[in-house]
Structure 1
């Protein structure tokens, strides 16, 4: 039995679901309670003491961190292979994953802070949105260079490199920032989204977005009833993009959170 602690809108969890589906492995998902308020507990926190999705449980083995989960999936079910064959190409797609996880993700997260959670208004909002657009376009250029003349980031076949990119680029599209129509990246995204593993995962995200569209969520944030996680790359993005006041306000209002202490 495979259980994945999941939130359908998490690109980190999406990577793992795409990988499991590409491997043909059946799994069940559980959405932990208390994530939004910063009060997750129980079996989920035992599986992931960082109290964030995803976490994978397989025959009693508990694993957290999306990259380590992907490595476990590749080791446990080596066929079909998701990593390329050569050491150089394996390193290349792992570097792509690292960039997407620790740089690109923060842009879409920051856009969500503004659009859904009302973190910035007026001139500050305009500044953060402009920086996000500029940064997204920069990553699009970088991704085009990484893709080169390959049909897939992985090479000749869909794999690790592609499932590491597609949740984030789809997230940018959802924020109204698609890549240029007819570009290599746009064509790649269409091919990736046509795969059953990606289509199913993206559909789950869409359903979750519709179900969680609470009109008063920004007010819940202001009241400290909904706390967003501001750790490492996300905190860096907000500060370097001009949103240090957002962080200071969040600390004062106790509506942001960081990783819990391990115990």
Structure 2
């Protein structure tokens, strides 16, 4: 059986989890412990052995071990091609890959500057003010990017015709932007409708609920 090492609040792990669920593949979830104070330290030994970047996700399928969500996506599509999560055609697939990269490296860049919002206020007031300024700049950048994504959805339910890895990657980054207090989706009606549609799918809804539960657990731990 496939094994997936993932973190409760690892965006890139959850991408892979959604892909496995959408493909109907049985797999064992191995949840790597996470705390607000220490993050993922100490690192899980299987993750350290498999990934020189010391990060989840790590996927093990028989004697094959992979890391990096994009590499895992491409492997799953070739090993388990039905249902397909990439569109047909060289150009369409290239467009899909660019949208995944957009989610992971362009849209996520400002989201990263909102991660501090799940942490206690910084004891240094000047440092906290710097964080807040960066957060406001991140929100402005996100509004521009969300507006662009909203335009791309004109005339379609998904970004590449049918559900694809582009939708999975973009959904996860938009979800993180929402949970971190980023711009509300109400000003982007096509994007908001797309997001709501995906939440209705069992795979996406289950992952979103699991992340919300992890957030509640971390919040409770901070106030103990």
Q: Does the TM-score normalized on the shorter chain lie above 0.5? A: yes
Deviation of 1:40 (Å): 1.3
Contact kept, 8 Å, 1:47 with 1:57, in 2: the verdict is no
Q: Distance in 2 between matches of 1:32 and 1:191?
A: 29
CA 1:188/1:136 → structure 2, altered by over 3 Å: closer, same or farther? same
8 Å CA contact 1:54, 1:65 repeated in 2: yes
- Relative to structure 1, the CA distance from residue 83 to residue 118 in structure 2 (aligned partners, 3 Å threshold; closer, same or farther) is same
Equivalents in 2 of 1:98, 1:182: separation in Å?
Answer: 21
Q: Are residues 1:57 and 2:60 paired?
A: yes
Match of 2:81 among 78, 82, 104: 78
Q: Give me the whole-angstrom Cα distance separating, in 2, the residues matched to 1:117 and 1:13.
A: 25
What is the CA–CA distance in structure 1 between the aligned matches of 2:83 and 2:174, rounded to whole Å? Answer: 24
Q: Tell whether 2:187 aligns with 1:149.
A: no
Contact residue 4 and residue 60 of structure 2 kept, 8 A: yes
Equivalent pair of 1:152/1:162 in contact (CA under 8 Å): yes
Corresponding residue SS for 1:180: helix
Shift of the 138–181 alpha-carbon distance from structure 1 to 2, 3 Å rule, reads closer
- Does the 8 Å contact 1:144/1:184 carry over to 2? yes
* Distance in 2 of aligned mates of 1:41 and 1:208: 18
Which residue of 2 is the match for residue 221 of structure 1?
none
Query: Counterpart of 1:14?
Result: 14
Structure 1 length-normalised TM: 0.76
- How many residue pairs align between the two structures? 215
In structure 2, the residue matched to 1:27 is 27
Contact 2:2 2:61 in 1 (8 A): yes
Q: Distance in 2 between matches of 1:202 and 1:12?
A: 13
Q: Is the 8 A contact 2:116 2:131 kept in 1?
A: no
Query: What secondary structure sits across from 1:212 in the alignment?
Result: helix
Q: Which of 93, 98, 109 matches 1:95?
A: 98
- Looking at structure 2, the residues matched to 45 and 182 of structure 1 have their Cα atoms a distance apart, in angstroms, of 41
Gaps of 5+ in 1: 218-263
Distance change >3 Å, CA 80–CA 40, structure 1 → 2: same
| Alpha-carbon displacement from aligned partner over 1:69-94 (angstroms, at most 9, x marks no partner) | 00111111001111001211111111
2:150·2:188 contact (CA, 8 Å) conserved in 1? no
Deviation string, structure 1 residues 47-75 (Cα, Å, up to 9, x no partner): 22211111101112100000000011111
TM-superposed CA distance for 1:128, in Å, is 1.0
If the length of structure 2 is used for normalisation, what is the TM-score?
0.88
RMSD over equivalenced CA pairs, Å: 2.0
**2:141 match:** 135
Match of 2:215 in 1: 209
